[in-house]
Structure 1
Amino acid sequence: MGNGLTRRQVLWRAGALGCSAAASPLLTPLSFASAPWDNRLVAIILRGGMDGLDICRPVGDSEFAGLRPGLSEGGVPLDGFFELHPDLADLEPLWQAQELAFVHATSTPYRDKRSHFDGQDLLEAGTAALGSSVGRDGWLNRMLAEVPGAVAETAYAIGREEMLLMAGAAPVSGWWPDLDITLSAQGLRLLEATLRDDPAMAEAMAQAVLLADSDGSGVIADSDAPGAAMTAMTGDMQAATSGKPGQAHLRIAEFTARKLREETRVAAFSLSGWDSHSNQAQSLRRPLRQLSQVLNGLRDGLGPNVWGKTTVIAMTEFGRTARINGTGGTDHGTGGTMILAGGALRGGRVLGHWPGLAEGDLHARRDLMPTSDVRSWTAWILRESFGLSQERLEREVFPGLDMGSAQGILR
């Protein structure tokens, strides 16, 4: 951690100020890292098993409409074979600008057990099997460890555990975005003293309070806190109380864009809500719109210059069944879809090999058949973005992976 401030110190001081964190169904810890190259990478974990067949609809496959009655109409045409879910219509300009792409029929090596926890662990670990010798490191942290000179920004470790994706030996900054902070009169006095005497902590707390209010209700003044003491708080903390409930994803996009415009080069966070066992036509609307807003928010917040150096990878632990179930939803499946975005992307394409939806073409006669490995696409993005060698990617970042031939994913 930078500026002489340790994770233990941040946690201790946060506790002294009366900070508490609550679990969020939307977001998990947001992590950043800086590095000595100019390209940017944003990794988004879509937790719950996103239904790629609904997001990027293969309407040109003659089997699709029969497998998905009620979930196959009203899409936005993409290339004559695939259509975009109507609640992602705001992403069409990215597609037209070749800044959006999809990888269909892809997955991790995880098969048939269909546990969210195991599937997510394997996705973030980047290994071929659970319990490998790599341990609890994440592939993104291992990538950073391969980059000479990579350093962490000042850490804001307020809240729960880090994402496995970013866990490991390489230095990474992290914090929890849905923090609730209650400031008593005593806490205010301590905070003022800390801000006056410790510039590193002043910056840390300003950032923490900004993120604390990302859900619109994070900063609370105790009733016994005198008005004068509250007036003495920094402008950043006053401004941090202006958010609105339900807008956490927008605040995360804004904050991520701001960090990437500065020293940060890698960001990772997650969005939940993708487990659509019933009434999928309605249950996916909110996460789809939030994802659309996050991607467009990153583009707008980064500006043309930095967006042109940025690649966004959105990935999920597994796909869903080809057929809808009796409650209008889909169950845990296998082959899924990656969403790629960014100005660095050669987009406007649906990548991967399409296996077909005839019953004989399905995995276990129920799921979209995986025809590629999520890790391979990710490794090539890392290769093209940051110049890591194929040998090191296959040996250190994704141990045992055969990346195959170059994919030309980026411009």
Structure 2
Amino acid sequence: MIELDRRLFLKSAALIGCSAAAHPLMTSMTFAALPSDNRLVVIILRGAMDGLDAIQPYGDPMLAKLRRNISTGPDNGALDLDGFYALHPRLGPLMPLWEKGELAFAHAVSTPYRDKRSHFDGQDLLEAGTGNDLPVDWRIGGWLNRLLQAMPGTTAETAYAVGLEQMKILTGEAAHLGWAPKSSLDLSPQAQMLLDHVYHDDPMFRDAARDAFRISAEAGETARGKGPTADEAALGAFAASRLNGAARIAAFSIGGWDSHANQGPVIGRALDKLAASILALRDGLGQNWGSTTVLAMTEFGRTVRENGSNGTDHGTGGAMLMAGGAIQGGKAFGDWPGLRDGDLYADRDLMPTRDIRAYAAWAMRGLFGTERETLERAIFPGLDLGQDPRMLA
């Protein structure tokens, strides 16, 4: 029988037709089918990734002084990138991407969110893409949904939300599809024959049902027996399968970044998952990886100083990772503000030097030709794009 808590469902079904709402195989990954060959994947890192640990600015001598119990730099196993920054060793599987120019990052970035340091509010603001006006007004939806509304020719297949967690970044008026990789659509042969008969004259749902069973079986095989990163690998693999078809935009989230205590093992596990999802995307996309941009974004950074529990607390400035064959990889983007007392935000956090939304906006402009005025007024209201960071190849 179908496990009812693990099934596919069609979001925004009213835009497709009332029969969609009754279909039993229609869920939560986020995608979109666009009139473009370029692809965009947004990964939300829930829990505030410590960018100073993931991408370590060991060339700033203050880092080692402020973090005596959190290992940093090549002398402690990190992988040197450019003589100033080093990659956390748990991101080592991504090092070949850096060397090929398919991995980059931007440091000292943030949303407009300041001072309150709430995960819930910070994530809402990140996914809404608006300013610091809390509570967020979800009537205008998330910024990926507003992108869909600004683009001609989009359909429900243009956007997917992947995973069991709601992706507010895709909420809004534009229709999108969703899928959860933990689906278990185990029907008997007789039940599958019954569904085929019921939907025989409705090719949209007949084909969708058959596809759902095939994808569920493939994802189950991908995840079965593969250890703690299997779910994230399944997210990346399924996203790739849709992006190889009609979809051009995908979004999913990875949790586990809140490292108040014992940061080493906490962030290590989360970085393993991030690396697994990116590599699954690359492997699944094949030649389409060359036209793909992946943006991994978190709600805010963490304190520069370690706390008494060998962890870090909620901060402000953080880092975002970029991957894909479409980016100008092998480099660091943004201006480094420094870690001396006078350089810190509120005497505790990494000082933001650029709005993280600007990088997402420039990615949209380069990938899909979205107009600057649309980006600054409709998709990211109130944003000043500033200069092009030239993050795309």
Q: What does residue 147 of structure 1 align with?
A: 151
Cα distance change on mapping 1:87 and 1:319 into 2, 3 Å: same
- Asked if 1:353 is matched to 2:357, the reply is no
- Asked if 1:12 is matched to 2:15, the reply is no
Cα distance change on mapping 1:157 and 1:379 into 2, 3 Å: closer
Give 1:296 shift.
1.6
Q: Which whole-Å CA distance do the structure 2 matches of 1:184 and 1:10 have between them? A: 23
Q: What does residue 124 of structure 1 align with?
A: 127
Q: Which whole-Å CA distance do the structure 2 matches of 1:240 and 1:100 have between them? A: 25
Q: Secondary structure at 2:248's aligned position in 1?
A: strand
Give 1:53 shift.
0.4
- For residues 266-309 of structure 1, give each alpha carbon's deviation from its aligned partner in whole angstroms, at most 9, with x where no partner exists: 111111111111111111222211211211221122113x1111
Opposite residue 286 of structure 2, the aligned amino acid is: G
Q: Which whole-Å CA distance do the structure 1 matches of 2:102 and 2:169 have between them? A: 24
Q: Which whole-Å CA distance do the structure 1 matches of 2:66 and 2:204 have between them? A: 57
Deviates more, 1:288-297 or 1:311-320: 288-297
Counting matched residue pairs gives 377
Deviates more, 1:175-184 or 1:140-149: 175-184
Q: Secondary structure at 1:345's aligned position in 2?
A: coil
Opposite residue 181 of structure 2, the aligned amino acid is: P
The one of 270, 279, 295 aligned to 2:262: 279
The one of 175, 181, 188 aligned to 2:179: 175
1:331-410 alignment runs, 5 A limit: 331-410=313-392
- Asked if 1:295 is matched to 2:294, the reply is no
Q: What does residue 111 of structure 1 align with?
A: 114
- For residues 113-163 of structure 1, give each alpha carbon's deviation from its aligned partner in whole angstroms, at most 9, with x where no partner exists: 111111011001000023466735111111111111111229999996741
Q: Which whole-Å CA distance do the structure 2 matches of 1:82 and 1:241 have between them? A: 33
Deviates more, 1:65-74 or 1:174-183: 174-183
Q: Is the 8 A contact 1:7 1:157 kept in 2?
A: no
Q: Is the 8 A contact 2:183 2:216 kept in 1?
A: yes
Identity of counterpart residues, as a percentage?
Answer: 50
Q: Is the 8 A contact 1:54 1:85 kept in 2?
A: yes
- For residues 157-216 of structure 1, give each alpha carbon's deviation from its aligned partner in whole angstroms, at most 9, with x where no partner exists: 999674111111122212333334565798556435335454322333344445656884
Gaps of 5+ in 2: 1-9
Opposite residue 22 of structure 2, the aligned amino acid is: W
Q: Which whole-Å CA distance do the structure 1 matches of 2:331 and 2:162 have between them? A: 40
Opposite residue 263 of structure 1, the aligned amino acid is: A
1:240-319 alignment runs, 5 A limit: 246=228, 247-304=230-287, 306-319=288-301
Q: What does residue 164 of structure 1 align with?
A: 168
Q: What does residue 200 of structure 1 align with?
A: 204
Q: Which whole-Å CA distance do the structure 1 matches of 2:274 and 2:251 have between them? A: 14
Q: Which whole-Å CA distance do the structure 2 matches of 1:356 and 1:91 have between them? A: 26
Give 1:111 shift.
0.8
Root-mean-square deviation (CA), in Å?
Answer: 3.0
| TM-score normalised over the length of structure 2 | 0.87
Opposite residue 98 of structure 1, the aligned amino acid is: G
Q: What does residue 71 of structure 2 align with?
A: 71
Q: Which whole-Å CA distance do the structure 2 matches of 1:155 and 1:133 have between them? A: 22
Q: Which whole-Å CA distance do the structure 1 matches of 2:160 and 2:103 have between them? A: 32
| TM-score normalised over the length of structure 1 | 0.83
Cα distance change on mapping 1:184 and 1:142 into 2, 3 Å: same
Q: Is the 8 A contact 1:105 1:369 kept in 2?
A: yes
Q: Which whole-Å CA distance do the structure 2 matches of 1:119 and 1:192 have between them? A: 45
